[in-house]
């Protein structure tokens, strides 16, 4: 597999090597050792999630308190999704910026998002099935959101705005500026300190 760091530090695009024959296709969509070589510590898997979405569904922008936050390894097993990583770490050199990876049934890529990053995706086809491996169990009290339509972030969904489908929770989420002002966001220093602990195996 090929692993490429995205423009947001601590996020990566993973492109597996596919082996096809008259029976179908085989691939390794996750390798703990290859990922560890790039992020500096193991991805401790605590939970696996799957969502099924119709075309136009937007899920996110979601993030969790640091520590422990929730690192994510995400792929689409059916359909197609445009997956976004958003830097919400106050003080980061790429704060407020984003990058994206197309997750689909053709290239079967995955995306890794380190602790403290914001995550969002839009389903580009009906029955898009997205699976997540995550480093910490879901904890509602530590989970937060940012409005994915925030013009200051400027996510480009590739689908007309009137065709996007958001949950009430995501519609009512604060903007990035509002989340920062209320102290919801992690800081670059917090994330770096926690990452150092993970790298040392603390």
Catalytic one among 12, 41, 62, 119? Answer: 62
d(CA 115, CA 175): 20
User: Which one, of 47, 104, 41, lies nearest residue 73 by Cα?
Assistant: 47
Apex 155 CA angle, 69 and 5, nearest 5: 55
Contact 159, 118 (CB under 8 A): no
d(CA 159, CA 181): 30
Contact 83, 123 (CB under 8 A): no
To which residue do tokens 């106050």 refer? Answer: 90
Catalytic one among 73, 112, 132, 194? Answer: 132
d(CA 32, CA 105): 22
62 belongs to the catalytic site: yes
Query: Would you please indicate which residues are annotated as catalytic (active-site) residues?
Result: 62, 132
């Amino acid at each position: 597999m090929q692993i490429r760091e995205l423009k947001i530090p601590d996020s990566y695009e993973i492109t597996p090597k596919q082996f096809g024959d008259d029976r179908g296709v085989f691939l390794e969509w996750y390798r703990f050792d290859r990922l560890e070589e790039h992020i500096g510590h193991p991805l401790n898997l605590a939970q696996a999630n799957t969502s099924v979405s119709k075309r136009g569904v937007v899920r996110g922008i979601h993030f969790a308190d640091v520590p422990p936050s929730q690192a994510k390894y995400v792929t689409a097993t059916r359909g197609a999704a445009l997956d976004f990583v958003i830097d919400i770490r106050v003080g980061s050199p790429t704060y407020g910026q984003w990058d994206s990876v197309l997750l689909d049934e053709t290239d079967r890529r995955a995306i890794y998002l380190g602790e403290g990053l914001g995550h969002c995706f839009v389903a580009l086809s009906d029955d898009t099935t997205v699976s997540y491996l995550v480093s910490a169990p879901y904890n509602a009290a530590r989970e937060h959101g940012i409005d994915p339509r925030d013009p200051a972030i400027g996510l480009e969904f590739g689908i007309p705005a009137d065709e996007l489908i958001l949950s009430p929770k995501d519609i009512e989420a604060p903007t990035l500026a509002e989340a920062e002002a209320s102290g919801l966001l992690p800081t670059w220093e917090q994330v770096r300190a926690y990452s150092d602990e993970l790298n040392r195996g603390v």
